[in-house]
Amino acid sequence: MSLSTRTSTSFSSIPGSSAETRTSFSDAFTSTLGQAPPGKPGVRPRSDGVLDGEAVAHCPKGLPDFHALLGREGSARACLYAFDLLHLDADDLRALALVERRALLREHLKRAGAAIMFSDHLGGTDGEAMFRHACAMGLEGIVSKRVTSRYKSGRCLSWVKIKNPGYERR
């Protein structure tokens, strides 16, 4: 499994190319999802799930650096950008709208450490301007998703990846 591709991952097996990275992701999930909610000691904590995300290492300018993931130093400082929550304990969340799954994900990652980041979104109707900005920054492109869509594996009309034609991997 490539760390630079979009992947579904269980909380207990976040990908990493080094033990340090795997440990930091696992520790962050354990500390985030393995505790009862504040002020609700009788509530059983949610501690198992599957999310959709991407591991990213950054260059000194803060931009994604694919090649840094391949090395020990880069993978040790990589983080996981989580953008969807597919399962939570025994609950299959894929039938929920994207906006509902992302709200649950945001809630469950509130106490996450720096190793796990909620991948925020930009709403709006000016996708072309957003794409031009991503290209100007030298990013790979953008992904557009319908907020009302249900999760479907593989490519579909509910989400579209638009690639920057001038993108070069760093």
pLDDT grade, residue 5 (50/70/90)? very low
Residue 47 belongs to some domain of the structure: yes
The owner of tokens 């490539």 is 2
Residue 116 belongs to some domain of the structure: yes
Residue 54 or 17, more confident: 54
Range 77-82 average pLDDT: 89
Residue 138 belongs to some domain of the structure: no
Rounded to the nearest angstrom, the gap between the alpha carbon of residue 12 and the centroid of all alpha carbons in its chain is 15
Residue 44 belongs to some domain of the structure: yes
What pLDDT is attached to residue 112? 78
Domain count of the fold of the chain: 1
For residue 9, the surrounding DSSP H or E stretch is strand 7-10
Q: How far apart are CA 25 and CA 15, in angstroms?
A: 8
pLDDT grade, residue 61 (50/70/90)? confident
Tell which residue, 18, 33, 78, has the closest CA to residue 54: 78
| pLDDT tens figures, 38-58 | 554 444 454 578 889 988 988
pLDDT at 13 over 50: no
Most confident of 27-31, 63-67, 147-151: 147-151
Residue 134 belongs to some domain of the structure: no
Q: How far apart are CA 102 and CA 137, in angstroms?
A: 26
Contact between residue 144 and residue 156 where contact means Cβ atoms under 8 Å apart: no
- Domain containing 79 equals 7-122
CB contact set of 65 (below 8 Å; sequence gap of 6+): 57, 58, 59, 74, 170
CB contact set of 17 (below 8 Å; sequence gap of 6+): 3, 69, 70, 72, 75
Give the domain CATH number at 14: 3.30.470.30
Range 80-95 average pLDDT: 92
Residue 96 belongs to some domain of the structure: yes
The owner of tokens 């925020």 is 120
